[in-house]
Structure 1
Amino acid sequence: MSIRLEFEITFKSDYHVGAGHGLGLQVDSALLRDPDGVPVIRGTVLAGLLRESLANLLALQPFVRQPNCQQFLERIFGSPRQLKRWRISSARPAGSLIPQVLPQKQSTKFMAAQTTTRARINPRTRRVEENKLFTHEDGDGSLRFRFVAECERDDAIAQQEAEYIVAAARMLRSLGAGKRRGYGECEIHLVDRNRESDLLTRLAKRLKGETVPESAPAPSHDETKPLHLPADPGNHTYRLRVLIRLDEPLLIARRAEAGNQYETLEMIPGSVLRGALAWRMTHRHGGFTNSHPAAFNRFVALFFNDTVRFSPLMPVELDLGDKDNKGKKDNLKGYATIIAPRDLVTCELYPGYVGENSDEIHGIWSLLDDTNHTKCLICGRKAASVKLKTLDGFITLAGVPRSRHKPNQTIEMHIRIDPNSGRVRTGDLYGYVALEPGQYFVGEITCTNSDVWQELRRMAGLQEGVNELKLGKATQRGYGKVSVVFAPIDTPIFHLQDLSQRLDSTDHVRMLLLSDAIVVDQWGRFWRGFDPAWLQRELGLPSNVTVEIDRNPQGELLAFSATRAVDAFNNKLGLPRSRDVAIVAGSSVRLSFKGIELDALVQRLQAVENRGIGLRREEGFGRVAFNHPIYRQLEGIDSPMLDLSSLAPAGEITPLTKMLDFSQAWVKTLDDASFDVFADERFEAVARLLHVSRHTSVAAIMNELQTLGEPAALLGKPLSGRDKPNFFATDGKPGMDAIEKLLGLLAETLKQKKLEQHPQAWRIGLQILAARIAGLARQQALKGGRR
């Protein structure tokens, strides 16, 4: 059981939560958004503000008199000696709590925000400082955000902590940058107002010394029924597909960096999913105290007897073939991928497989083919030679191979606040390079039998359908939330034909690492590449059989590998685990075997494919394949299209998503229009009027624009002696006519999106149009003035 508190933030003014970067030359500080363009308030911000609010609350006299009251701050939000018990999620607008499947990045700077220009004042001269003019995006104060505070335990202490969290949220009155200058004024309430009133009433009674009835303790999850395992638990007969959607940015840190930048891995190691399930199981059973020995024994049987293995989770490439159904819940599909082998190289200028959707592709070559290409063969025939580079990223296993770029990543900056001054500490700026939310990953879990999986599912509290897990770093502060579906399958996701059909000789056998592999020698030292010494042992070859690494005609070994440090953290002990060194996935080698028949070699290598090599195989390390179909245009691989509809967002149309769809359509309309008639600096004045206009009809806007250049608009009567013609009524008339036509297109677009009566939609549309006109007019002014 757990406690879940859903809060709603209601703003009373515009706010600014910066993304740590700008938007070209127009905005110096952009608003923090998810990849789908929707504004977001990251959990790190909310956790810090709630902690500060609770600290101020506990400093009040009624709380100071309470015994042990100050301990709630550390228990809820953690400290160097106390693990935090509550998780604060990120906040997104109500009705759009899950990032959309297909990110839409164009023109998101105009969505639910406006650009504000400010200047820094010198405190001594009371004048604006030179070169201190800056602009930033302010979030729309009409938005309502929602976030969740959740505790895995539901005991009497957790119930009291919930009362303090609600009180701290109610005390919070502003957030974001400039909150001392009128920005970010807000109120935070529980969505369930009756529950909020009940929790605050209970807290008031405690402060008065009255008796508060405690809720019944959560039922025990322990059962006395033991887990029966077969004689060989490593022989796995039950298989599940694991499909994951990222609901928040995911950070799987490469290593414990010495600096202030943490960079994520591009796939999810099996150890991460394994640790998340183990952590969930431990919390549900109260840390496996001495009072629950049976539950602890089953935990050991599940995670330390090779009864369950977790494969790495690879990115899924979405199928975008049907544009009409693109992104719809019932039609969302994708393809599994693998890491590109390190021996594959491609043209530096025109990379990728031949046949991909691109203007020009020069193809892929394998350096295991007795070749030593360093230049692109096709470029060499056309012009100057171009170097080859290693094929990075992932390869799609669908019909014909397709190279795929790396998964989308986002960079978010964070600061540390000094609790004494309430300001940023000097030098305490750090960044997260995380995987963007809205992406999909797929992998496998294999178990000894179905009983093992049912026991793991029961102890971890997993349900049929969609489950929620937390993976990676900063899971308590708005990162790492994922939705997971576990589905039984009969054949592996990356199903290969029988090895006897892939292997026709004992010579020139290609070995490919499908996941990182940790291989040690007899003294415990880590191997950092391929060597016959450990290959002989890990492949289970008898002493009379020899294995050699092939060489190309130039005498170079046909082995391509790299290593990475594998770091981890033991949350139970609060200490880092020992560092391992792994040969990375995608490393490849070509081998030749002597002294063994082909049938015997197939039998031994098939066993290696099933069990893996090296250490920590139950965590997904050491998965290998021989003569993988990737070297034969995927001939002999059966990797069906994945149905992602079970994890796709509901897709309901909210005002925010309607606004985003409108802005996308309006930008596309303007891209098709011509703006050459606005190449005059005087049209910048027209752009200013459009930018600040509050009218919601074409006629009203044109009536306002008709007064441009007329003295009567300012003086109330014509200016005597003025005979200079009005530019906007003569030479600029074609431009004014074009504006009227564009305003008509704006009204038509708003009508199609059913936003014709929405003032904010008109304002966004006019600002986008004004930016286009002002850009061309200003460019003409910089060239030397009017045409």
Structure 2
Amino acid sequence: MAVELTFELQLLSHYHVGSGFAGEIDSFLLRDGDGVPAIRGTTLAGLLRDGLERLLQMPAVRQRYGEGARHPLGGGYCSSGASCPVCRLFGTPAGPGLWKISSARPGGLERPAMEIKDRFAAVHRVRINYAARRSQPRSLFSLERGDRRLAFVFTAQSAAGREVNVEDVALLVAAARNVRHLGSSRRRGWGECVIGLRGIQGVEDAGFPAEPAKVQEHFWERILAFCAGEIERDVLLTPVNRAVENKRSLPDPVSLLKEALRQPEEPQVIRLLARAAEPLVLACRAEAGNMFESVQAVPGRAIFGSLIRRAAEQVGDSLLPDLIKELFFTGAVVLSPLWPCLKKDTLVFPGLPVPRDTGMCKYFSGYNGHDKEERGLFLLASIDGPGDEYCPQCYGIYELRDSKVETPLVAGTGFVAVHEKPRKIEITLAPEMHVSIDNGTGRALPRQLFGYTALPAGTCFWGEICFRSRAVWECFAKIFNLGEDRAFSLKVGKAAGRGYGTLRLHAGRLQRAEEREGFNSPLRERVKEGEERIRFTFISDTVFVDQWGRYCCEPDQRWLEKILGFPVEVEDEDVFVCATERDGFNRLWGLPDQRKVIIQAGSTWRLKVPGGVKKEMLDRMCRLEAAGVGEYRWEGYGRVAFNLLEEKIQLPKTGVSLPEELLTELLTDTTDHFMRRDSAWSREVNELLDKRLDEVVKEWPGGERKQLALLARWLYRQRHCPVEELEEKLSSMGWPSENIIKYLKDYCDPGRENKIWPPGKGQDRLKRLQELLEELAGKSRNSCEFTRAVEALAGRLAGIGADVKEEV
């Protein structure tokens, strides 16, 4: 059983952990897909590693550990033969460490956070020329300041199947206590923090205290007692879990599976809905330089590998080869990729690759939607005469230099949501930059910048798993500890032990292949009996091998009939296929795997069925959609669909409701978070300004509104004053001060008109503005919020004044 430690990182000052990208300011905070600040597991692992390195260099600890505490400083690693505690706990390039560190998010906020709009605070800095004691030219920069009120929560989980002893936990807790700063500008007072243990799970030592704070002191005292010579190291090596002995006991799972495979074949399908709890990095082999770019769907081979790791946790490694062979290689279990979904509130619309026999407008690319410039999908196979190769919604409408603009159709790409009005699923990949740190100086190493372009947290997916029979599903559920209408988690992709790759899934109800929900459109509604023409679309990459073991991409009619199980006719102009090569790598051998030639997802054949579709053909199509075709189907290859996105088919108007387990996930018990209160307060202030600002502005008619820019600058300078003092200063604005009247009375013009508050209408202006300030003070709970409200008011007035100035 894995040991899981929950830590809380409490900030003592403002911090900055940058995302590596600029916009309105030069360096933004790193945030999750829902806009909430986050700290990646890579950063936390580096902090804990540095804390443990410094701990081991203390004389008392170094004396007790001897040569075992010697760790190469400056970013080095131990050799594979002898491993120090640092490399054992956090890993080396040769192998992973014991602890997997998650990303940290603010405690008390659900994941993903709802209705949270964090307001960033920009801090401006300038570099100084020490010789001239002046600012250097072109050296002004700005960064986003993280709020010191934040308290981040993260977990450290031991690797599956590895035994954890007291020393492993105690050193990690001690390393956390030794962390005092994070992020940039730590030498200038930023990033002060403390990390404390808040919970521990998976341990079996009855002598541990019940309170988490006392558990932390318990492990810390054992390290101190060892350094003081009061206990021997054998006490620290006492295991706190017994991972090997705690495997779930199944009565010979291989025999149980073989018995299930003897049952009559009756395909069953279970639908999966998933949400990315952390960013996903599922990179292709062809990464560009030092940037790993993630694909837009979760490949089936990633799900396959993650399920195998889950099985190893449940039944151990010794039975895995036989289980993999009987479950997957025989076709008893078939996986699909996880395709992206279009999410609207609590509903999701399943997405699928765009068929390659459809086209879209080249200049107004997109699909049917609310945007008036979006165009629909059009069948390329229906092109017969002149003009058919152009977008029918644009052809002949737009003109350039008295000539018609040609708007050709191009093949559709990406994913489309199965909806009454099919819409393109826009997936915005989230780039995140990382840099290697010199452990000796604590600064970034030169030429060591790399990045991940990841699928953002909160992205929703869907997929399917097909089983040969219900008995196979029941055996599968026991081996992998799954069940119907149950949620579970998997780790997929790169950096899964450093804050990436957590996928939260929900398994639906088991259904017969003929009754499967599929793509929100049952097969018997897409294909009717007696139909003579059907579309055969690959919705995942597919691998075909002929009788000589060669990869093929354009099988002939005879071979196609063998795959489908019924006679068909196909012409060359009805084939829309795109093929590519895909490399692989065998980690066991350490050598490249065989290069596969695959048919890419979206490839389509338009087939003619002599005599029309019959009932037994529909049954065959149902089985093909559930079980797939071709090779490597256990890795998500070979998924197909018939008559996908046909215009004559009535597509569904409503989507699939997300299960409650996928909607939100609380990191801690409390939900009354200051970020939620701040977001609600900001909405109230903006609504008040939207409602009352027009009443204030109308007192400045026409060109006089340019004075609002002057008033905005004055309010911004006085934003820290209490409301009473601000009203008093506001009433005296535009008049000379008492000192000027006292010392320069001979030069003052007592009859000079106040342009801000002129006679007559000036008092109405002042009254309106003072009433608005009082209402803003009533909405604010403290002086900081009132200051922010005055800043918002000043920004609104400055915008109005600037617009008038430009008009004048």
Report the TM-score when normalising by structure 2.
0.81
Aligned pair in 2 of structure 1 residues 129, 159: CA closer, same or farther (>3 Å)?
Answer: same
Asked if 2 retains the 8 angstrom alpha-carbon contact of 1:233 and 1:448, the reply is no
Decide which moves more: 134-143 or 440-449. Answer: 440-449
CA drift of 1:631 comes to 0.9
Aligned pair in 2 of structure 1 residues 682, 575: CA closer, same or farther (>3 Å)?
Answer: farther
Q: Which amino acid aligns with 1:444?
A: E
Match of 2:634 in 1: 618
Aligned pair in 2 of structure 1 residues 54, 234: CA closer, same or farther (>3 Å)?
Answer: farther
Asked if 2 retains the 8 angstrom alpha-carbon contact of 1:9 and 1:144, the reply is yes
Asked if 1 retains the 8 angstrom alpha-carbon contact of 2:708 and 2:800, the reply is no
CA drift of 1:216 comes to 5.4
Aligned pair in 2 of structure 1 residues 179, 136: CA closer, same or farther (>3 Å)?
Answer: same
Aligned pair in 2 of structure 1 residues 438, 258: CA closer, same or farther (>3 Å)?
Answer: closer
SS at match of 2:26: coil
Match of 1:45 in 2: 43
1:297-343 residue CA offsets vs partner (Å, 9 max, x unmatched): 335433433322221222232345xxxxxxxxxxx233222222222
1:401 aligns with 2:412: no
Q: Which amino acid aligns with 2:333?
A: V
Aligned pair in 2 of structure 1 residues 780, 420: CA closer, same or farther (>3 Å)?
Answer: farther
Q: Which amino acid aligns with 1:252?
A: L
SS at match of 2:536: strand
Match of 1:728 in 2: 756
Match of 2:378 in 1: 365
1:34 aligns with 2:55: no
Given candidates 720, 725, 737, the residue that maps to 1:694 is: 720
Match of 1:59 in 2: 57
1:445 aligns with 2:465: yes
Match of 2:13 in 1: 13
CA drift of 1:172 comes to 0.8
Given candidates 170, 178, 186, the residue that maps to 2:177 is: 170
Distance 2:413 2:479 in 1: 40
1:539 aligns with 2:554: no
Match of 2:486 in 1: 465
Given candidates 706, 727, 742, the residue that maps to 1:680 is: 706
* Root-mean-square deviation (Å): 3.7
Aligned pair in 2 of structure 1 residues 263, 350: CA closer, same or farther (>3 Å)?
Answer: same
Q: Which amino acid aligns with 2:660?
A: S
SS at match of 1:227: helix
1:200 aligns with 2:220: yes
Asked if 1 retains the 8 angstrom alpha-carbon contact of 2:272 and 2:506, the reply is yes
Q: Which amino acid aligns with 1:207?
A: C
CA drift of 1:116 comes to 1.0
Match of 1:302 in 2: 327
Match of 1:339 in 2: 353
CA drift of 1:688 comes to 6.0
CA drift of 1:366 comes to 0.9
SS at match of 1:379: coil
Distance 1:376 1:546 in 2: 31
CA drift of 1:136 comes to 1.2
Identity among equivalent positions (%) equals: 29
Structure ID, larger Rg: 2
CA drift of 1:595 comes to 11
SS at match of 1:377: coil
Match of 1:663 in 2: 682
Distance 1:744 1:519 in 2: 74
Match of 2:208 in 1: none
Match of 2:79 in 1: none
Q: Which amino acid aligns with 1:333?
A: L
Distance 1:688 1:76 in 2: 57
Match of 1:115 in 2: 122
CA drift of 1:251 comes to 1.9
1:699-735 residue CA offsets vs partner (Å, 9 max, x unmatched): 4543344454444288796852233544433499587
Aligned pair in 2 of structure 1 residues 500, 358: CA closer, same or farther (>3 Å)?
Answer: closer
Alignment of 1:252-263 (within 5 A): 252-263=282-293
Match of 1:580 in 2: 596
Report the TM-score when normalising by structure 1.
0.83
Decide which moves more: 606-615 or 31-40. Answer: 606-615
1:428-448 residue CA offsets vs partner (Å, 9 max, x unmatched): 222222222223222112223
Distance 1:660 1:427 in 2: 40
1:770 aligns with 2:798: no
Match of 1:271 in 2: 301
Aligned pair in 2 of structure 1 residues 403, 250: CA closer, same or farther (>3 Å)?
Answer: same
SS at match of 1:268: coil
Aligned pair in 2 of structure 1 residues 710, 426: CA closer, same or farther (>3 Å)?
Answer: farther
CA drift of 1:285 comes to 5.3
1:415 aligns with 2:428: no
Distance 1:189 1:534 in 2: 68
Alignment of 1:365-764 (within 5 A): 365-371=378-384, 373-384=388-399, 385=405, 386-398=407-419, 400-462=420-482, 465-490=486-511, 491-494=515-518, 497-498=522-523, 502=527, 508-521=533-546, 526-527=551-552, 529-532=553-556, 536=560, 539=563, 547-551=569-573, 558-563=574-579, 566=582, 578-592=594-608, 607-628=623-644, 630-635=645-650, 641-649=656-664, 652-664=671-683, 666-667=685-686, 680=706, 683=709, 686-687=712-713, 689-690=715-716, 693-694=719-720, 697=723, 699-712=724-737, 719-720=744-745, 721-723=747-749, 725-730=753-758, 739-740=769-770, 742-743=772-773, 746=776, 750=779, 756-764=780-788
Distance 2:710 2:184 in 1: 31
Q: Which amino acid aligns with 1:407?
A: I
Asked if 1 retains the 8 angstrom alpha-carbon contact of 2:532 and 2:613, the reply is no
Distance 1:696 1:281 in 2: 63
Q: Which amino acid aligns with 1:416?
A: S
Aligned pair in 2 of structure 1 residues 63, 297: CA closer, same or farther (>3 Å)?
Answer: farther
Aligned pair in 2 of structure 1 residues 614, 530: CA closer, same or farther (>3 Å)?
Answer: same
Asked if 2 retains the 8 angstrom alpha-carbon contact of 1:511 and 1:591, the reply is yes
Q: Which amino acid aligns with 1:769?
A: L
Distance 1:607 1:31 in 2: 50
SS at match of 2:257: coil
Decide which moves more: 443-452 or 189-198. Answer: 443-452
Asked if 1 retains the 8 angstrom alpha-carbon contact of 2:165 and 2:239, the reply is no
SS at match of 1:656: helix
CA drift of 1:236 comes to 5.7
SS at match of 1:380: coil
Decide which moves more: 712-721 or 611-620. Answer: 712-721
Distance 1:170 1:574 in 2: 39
Distance 2:738 2:486 in 1: 66
1:594-626 residue CA offsets vs partner (Å, 9 max, x unmatched): 799967866665554343222211122111122
Decide which moves more: 641-650 or 677-686. Answer: 677-686
CA drift of 1:188 comes to 0.9
Distance 2:792 2:581 in 1: 48
Distance 2:49 2:414 in 1: 40
Aligned pair in 2 of structure 1 residues 602, 96: CA closer, same or farther (>3 Å)?
Answer: closer
CA drift of 1:247 comes to 1.5
Match of 1:93 in 2: 106
Q: How many residues align?
A: 741
Alignment of 1:152-163 (within 5 A): 152-153=159-160, 156-163=163-170
Q: Which amino acid aligns with 1:494?
A: G
Distance 2:121 2:525 in 1: 64
CA drift of 1:263 comes to 1.8
Aligned pair in 2 of structure 1 residues 135, 124: CA closer, same or farther (>3 Å)?
Answer: same
SS at match of 1:425: strand
Distance 2:590 2:12 in 1: 42
Asked if 2 retains the 8 angstrom alpha-carbon contact of 1:74 and 1:82, the reply is no
Distance 1:234 1:266 in 2: 38
